[in-house]
Structure 1
Amino acid sequence: MKRLVILGGGESGVGTALLGKAKGFEVFVSDKGKIKDKYKDVLVKNEIEWEEAQHTESKILNADVVMKSPGIPDKAPLVKQLVENGVSVISEIEFAAQFTTATIVGITGSNGKTTTASLAYHILNQEINVGLAGNIGDSFAKQVLEDDFKNYVLEISSFQLDGVVDFNPDIAVITNITPDHLDRYNYNFEEYIASKFRIAMNQTKDDYLIYDADDDVLVDWLEKHPVQSKLLPFSLVKKIENGAYLDKENIKITIDNNQIIMPTKDLALEGKHNIKNAMAASTVAHLLKIRKQTIRESLENFQGVEHRLEHVLKINKVQYINDSKATNVNATYYALESMSAPTVWIVGGVDKGNGYQELYPFVNTKVKAIICLGVDNEKLLENFSNMVDVIVETQFMSEAVKIAYKIAEAGDNVLLSPACASFDLFENYEERGRQFKDAVRNL
């Protein structure tokens, strides 16, 4: 009996434990922190051995295969030791994929991957049997065990891709690549790009890679490191023979001479970046033979993703917008770009080595006041204090929203788009977004 050790007792860890047990592995789950009660109950009920608040090396180093949670860096001493001992350390995506024959759509990128994955799933779900997993929703491994969908849309982070060996999606999507998480990649952008492109490394000529042809990082990388798969680029500015492009107000998608045309004026999501997300998701749907009418209707009625440019409430003609999911500068760039009214901007958190220069034009033209919400706001103050009349600091969401309420006038926007990670003041970006929404509702 092979021994499967799982590092991290969260959604992906517990899902993998269930699948591993069902497939005849001897399973042990180890978490350095506390395991949430809801996950503990599942482990106990399924008689899976586990530990928390420690890693017992004698029970881990004897593994045949280790699945580690994406949050644990490759540099962790225990992980290094396992690798040195020749133990295969993989991600949940790699482990679960070997137990399904489903068609897999894998979506990665620095920004837009959650929206693109949710949108693709929303379209496909109208006509075919499909699951949504990866970085989003229920664990992929658990779905493979319990639901056995015929198709999966997987949102995949670079950390998950670092742990793949044979994983090969039938359709891969790379939305874009901008500097993010560089703290995990030795502050080397090339390493981070290589990590994202692992999504296509096992693809064959029968598979597809959909990518943004306007992103120089992607285009240059593909020139230097060709892939086996068929390329289907999308673009807002170039005419694309095979793939998707914007022709005035219409998205045109051509695959093997079969063309569909989608008007953009009725897209539920606003902003140029969402036209790109719509192109990527529609190309996936077109490949999987979804009807044009279904694609069109789905693009028009898609509700968007929580914490991503989410319109919360209008109070005294001021629109409050929750973009807590903007954990890097590029995401906030899209948010500010799509603002069409004077904006009070709430920003800040854990800086991942951000450069804010690309935001200057928007801050100069659209932002009337900045509220810094972080433990250390020095860099924000350095960058922006000469650009706006009002810049204040706080460490409480409720206070940030009250200040915004005082500053904003009828017709303005109040935008939470932090451009940073949330871990200094919040558990995660979801908690940050929920606190914002609660504070707005309590005004």
Structure 2
Amino acid sequence: MKNIVVLGAGESGLGAAMLARQKDYAVFVSDAGQISSARKAEMERLEIAFEEGKHSEEKILSADLIIKSPGISPKAELVVKASLAGIPIIDELEFAFDYSKGKVIAITGTNGKTTTTLLTYHLMKEAGLDVGLAGNVGKSWAGQLLTTDHEWWVIECSSFQIDGFVDFKPAIAILCNITPDHLDRYDYKIENYIDSKFGIFKNMMSEDRAILFVEDRLTLQGLDKTNIGASTLWISGSSVQKAGAWTDEKMLSFAVTDQSVHVSVDSLSIKGKHNLLNALFAGSAALIAGVNEMELEKGFQTFKNAPHRMELIREMDGVKFINDSKGTNVEATAYALASYGNPLIWIAGGVDKGNDYSVLAPLVANVKSLICLGKDNEKLKKAFAEEIADIRETQDIAEAVNWGQELGESGDVVLLSPACASFDLFKNYEDRGMQFRVAVENLKPKAIA
């Protein structure tokens, strides 16, 4: 009997442990933190051995296979020791892949991958295809395979998860874009991050489809030293593609199957230039999977995006309050700023990840106030001191929202798009977004003078 150790008892770890147990492996789960009572109860029910608050090195290093949480760095001391000992270390998605007969649509990218994943799944589900959703969004793939398999699986893949792939092979793989992010994980070398993203294509063959963004500089850089075995399709925000999809900002046009498909941009429920690209990626995958033109347009109309992504919370006194808390890097915030021609009150800041704010300078002409929300705002203030007349700071999101209301006039937008991580003041970007929502919902209309 093969001994499997699962490092980390989060959503993916528990799912992997449960599937391994079902397949009659000897399973041991180790988590350096505390495991929730619900997860402990589930493991006890299934007679899965586990530990919390520590890693028992001797037991872990006796494993035949380690399934590692993507959040655990490959540079962690115990992981390095296991690697040197020759123990295979994989991701939960790699483990689950062997137990599904379904075709995989794998989606990665620095920005837009969650929206593209959810939209692809929605388009296929609404068209009546047998499709599941897994990966970096939704429930553990391994956990779902305990009871259900699907003809298709739409799977969001982070670079951390891709690093744990060995045999994982999508039928369709999408790389939305590459911009500098998580470089602390990749020795601060963008080349290493690019290599990680391109790992999603490594097992693909000629009958498979790879979909990439033709205007993305770092994607093109990655292609200089990577040979993709799959048939390649290109997405463009400006130019007609012989094989792929493109937009003139009035129509979405697809040349990915035998038929040309055209859908009005007005049919999209999500707005912004970046969402046109997300729709081109998702629509291309859906059409390849068997969705027809009519079903595609209907799906675009009925899609509702995940929270914290340019989400309209409320319009009051003619001022719109937009939650883009998922905008945790400069490029994501650039998309948000470019999506509005209105005067903006921009709420930004948090844990700076080595940001280069200069790329945002051309996009802040319509920002009349910048509210810095973070413990250390000096870099952010200095970056926009010449461009934005009114810059103020707070560590209280309710105060930031109240200032937004005070400063806002009918037609303005109050935009939370931090360009930074959230961990100085919040648990995560979801916590930041939820606190923003609560603060906005607690606002009272301005008194009429």
Tell whether the structures are fold-level matches, with TM greater than 0.5: yes
Please name the residue that 2:197 is paired with: 196
Q: Is the 8 A contact 1:143 1:149 kept in 2?
A: no
Match of 2:217 in 1: 216
Deviation per CA, 1:17-70, whole angstroms, max 9, x where unpaired?
Answer: 110100111111111111122322222222211111111112211111111111
> SS state of the match for residue 224, structure 1?
coil
Match of 2:446 in 1: none
Which segments of 5 or more consecutive residues in structure 1 lack a partner in the other structure? none
Confirm or deny: 8 A CA contact 1:208 1:231 kept in the other structure.
Answer: yes
Q: Does 1:359 align with 2:360?
A: yes
Structure 2 residue aligned with 1:281: 282
Which amino acid counterpart does residue 26 of structure 1 have in structure 2?
A
* CA positional deviation for 1:256: 4.7
Post-superposition Cα deviations, 1:258-310, rounded to whole Å, max 9, x if no partner, equal: 21111112211111111110010010011011121111111112111210000
- Alignment CA distance shift 1:248-1:397 (3 Å): closer
Q: Deviations over 1:351-399 (max 9, x none)?
A: 1111011100111x12111111112112101101222222112112222
* 2:212 counterpart of 1:205: no
Paired with 2:249 and 2:379, the residues of 1 have a C-alpha distance of: 40
Q: Matches of 1:356 and 1:341 in 2, distance apart?
A: 21
Which residue in 2 is equivalent to 1:430?
Answer: 430
Match of 1:72 in 2: 72
Distance in 2 between the 1:67 and 1:403 partners?
Answer: 47
Shift of 1:247: 4.4
Contact kept, 8 Å, 1:268 with 1:302, in 2: the verdict is yes
Distance 1:256 1:384 in 2: 47
Select between 342-351 and 243-252 the one with higher mean Cα deviation.
243-252
Question: 2: distance between equivalents of 1:159 and 1:352?
Answer: 17
Counterpart position of 2:7: 7
Closer/same/farther in 2, CA of residues 415 and 248 from structure 1, 3 Å limit: closer
What amino acid does structure 2 have at the position aligned with 1:11? E
Measure the CA separation in 1 of the matches of 2:109 and 2:196.
10
> Which residue in the other structure is 1:178 paired with?
179
Cα pair 1:175 1:280 within 8 Å, conserved: yes
Query: Secondary structure of 2:246's partner?
Result: strand
Question: Aligned-pair distance for 1:224?
Answer: 3.2
Tell me the equivalent position of 2:294: 293
AA of the residue aligned to 1:414: V
Question: What secondary structure, in the 3-state scheme, does the structure 2 residue paired with 1:411 have?
Answer: coil
TM-score, normalisation: structure 2: 0.96
Give the match for residue 335 of structure 2: 334
- Mean Cα displacement is larger for which, 396-405 or 112-121? 396-405
| Aligned pairs (5 A) from 1:325-404 | 325-363=326-364, 365-404=365-404
Rounded Cα–Cα distance in structure 1 between residues aligned with 2:359 and 2:248: 27
CA drift of 1:315 comes to 1.6
Q: Who is 2:439 aligned against?
A: 439
SS of residue in 2 equivalent to 1:258: coil
Partner of 1:140: 141
Q: Is the 8 A contact 1:4 1:67 kept in 2?
A: yes
Residue 260 of structure 2 aligns to a residue whose secondary structure is strand
Q: Which amino acid aligns with 2:434?
A: R
Once superposed, which parts of structure 1, at least 4 consecutive aligned residues long, lie more than 3 Å away? none
Quick one: which amino acid aligns to residue 32 of structure 1? Answer: A
Unaligned 5+ segments in structure 2 are: 444-449
1:119 aligns with 2:119: yes
**What are the equivalent positions in structure 2 for 1:22-41 lying under 5 Å apart?**
22-41=22-41
For 2:336 and 2:373, how far apart are their aligned partners in 1? 17
Instruction: Give the corresponding residue for 1:315.
Output: 316
Contact conserved, 1:182 with 1:353, CA < 8 A, in 2? no
Distance, in Å, in 2 between the alignment partners of 1:39 and 1:333 is 39
Corresponding pairs, count:
442
Q: Which amino acid aligns with 1:82?
A: A
Residue pairs, 1:50-61, within 5 angstroms:
50-61=50-61
Corresponding position: 1:16 with 2:3: no
Q: Distance in 2 between matches of 1:261 and 1:41?
A: 51
1:94 aligns with 2:94: yes
TM-score, scaled to structure 1 = 0.98
Alignment partners' CA distance in 1, 2:239 and 2:222:
18
| Structure 1 Cα separation of the partners of residues 12 and 249 of structure 2 | 43
**Mapped pair 1:258 → 2:270:** no
Deviation string 1:97-151 (CA, Å, 9 cap, x unpaired) is: 0111101000000000000000000000121111111000111111122221221
CA distance in 1, matches of 2:142, 2:93: 7
Residue aligning to 1:166? 167
Q: Distance in 2 between matches of 1:312 and 1:413?
A: 11
Query: In the aligned structure 1, how far is the partner of 2:155 from the partner of 2:268?
Result: 23
Identical-residue share of aligned pairs (%): 46
- Give the aligned residue type for 1:94: E
